[in-house]
């Protein structure tokens, strides 16, 4: 596991030059947002680098489109993940979570209780005991204090890497299970996230 995490962190830092980075960007966005926009369209937006275009050009391009909000959401998701991967070792603070939310939602304010986030604002450290437990607790804190699953999902992926444990994302076919466990307990959610961790590792290990 240790070698996998270190290789993954190194590969993700390489950005679009990395196979696992490209895979993760596309698959996270598709699994989170394909109910709003087709997988082919999401792939096109990533592969062409359209999300790097200026906001002015994008707003002009999509002004008359019925799915403009969905396109904006995908662009925001890709930008937020890119930011997180460029800051793997940064302390995850209330301000950082707020910035992820701003990127996803194009500046829409985030209403999350700062006190809820405060216990998680610490320097990253290696070999944390119960790393996934802490990731799960922060994920729940973001959701329960007014955040949303897109913001919590990207922060959780980043938080895992930040604390040297395997990251994950929620696969679309498991979303109902995820939403059910959000309403039960963090123990249930942690067990679910561990299953998603194992699946993501199987999907990506051969790319490193």
DSSP tag of 48: T
Q: Residue 94 is encoded by which pair of tokens?
A: 């209330």
pTM of the model: 0.95
Tokens of 126: 């290696």
Burial of 132 (0-12, 13-18, 19+ CB in 10 A): buried
Classify residue 126 by its DSSP letter: S
Question: Which domains are present in the chain?
Answer: 1-205 (1.10.3290.10)
Distance separating alpha carbons of residues 18 and 37, to the nearest angstrom? 25
CB 160 within 8 A of CB 135: yes
Q: At what angle do helices 68-86 and 149-162 cross, to 10 degrees?
A: 20
Residue located via tokens 């994008």: 58
Measured CA to CA, the distance from residue 168 to residue 36 in angstroms comes to 21
> Tens-of-pLDDT digits for all 208 residues of the chain?
789 999 999 999 999 999 999 999 999 999 999 999 999 999 999 999 999 999 999 999 998 999 999 999 999 999 999 999 999 999 899 999 999 999 999 888 888 888 889 998 888 766 666 899 999 999 999 998 888 999 999 999 999 999 899 999 999 999 999 999 999 999 999 999 999 999 999 999 999 9
Structure tokens, 195: 């299953």
């Amino acid at each position: 596991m240790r070698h996998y995490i270190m290789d993954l962190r190194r590969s993700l830092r390489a950005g679009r030059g990395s196979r696992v980075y490209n895979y993760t960007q596309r698959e996270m966005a598709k699994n989170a947002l394909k109910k709003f926009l087709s997988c082919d369209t999401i792939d096109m937006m990533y592969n062409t680098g359209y999300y790097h275009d200026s906001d002015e050009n994008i707003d002009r391009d999509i002004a008359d489109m019925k799915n403009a909000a969905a396109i904006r959401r995908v662009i925001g998701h890709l930008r937020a993940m890119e930011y997180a991967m460029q800051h793997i070792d940064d302390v995850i603070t209330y301000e950082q979570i707020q910035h992820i939310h701003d990127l996803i939602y194009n500046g829409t304010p985030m209403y999350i209780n700062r006190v809820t986030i405060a216990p998680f604002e610490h320097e990253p450290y290696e070999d944390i005991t119960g790393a996934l437990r802490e990731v799960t607790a922060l994920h729940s804190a973001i959701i329960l204090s007014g955040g949303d699953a897109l913001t919590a999902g990207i922060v959780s992926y980043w938080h895992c890497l930040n604390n040297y444990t395997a990251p994950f994302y929620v696969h679309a076919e498991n979303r109902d299970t995820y939403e059910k466990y959000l309403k039960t307990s963090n123990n249930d959610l942690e067990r679910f996230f561990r299953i998603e961790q194992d699946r993501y590792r199987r999907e990506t290990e051969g790319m490193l």
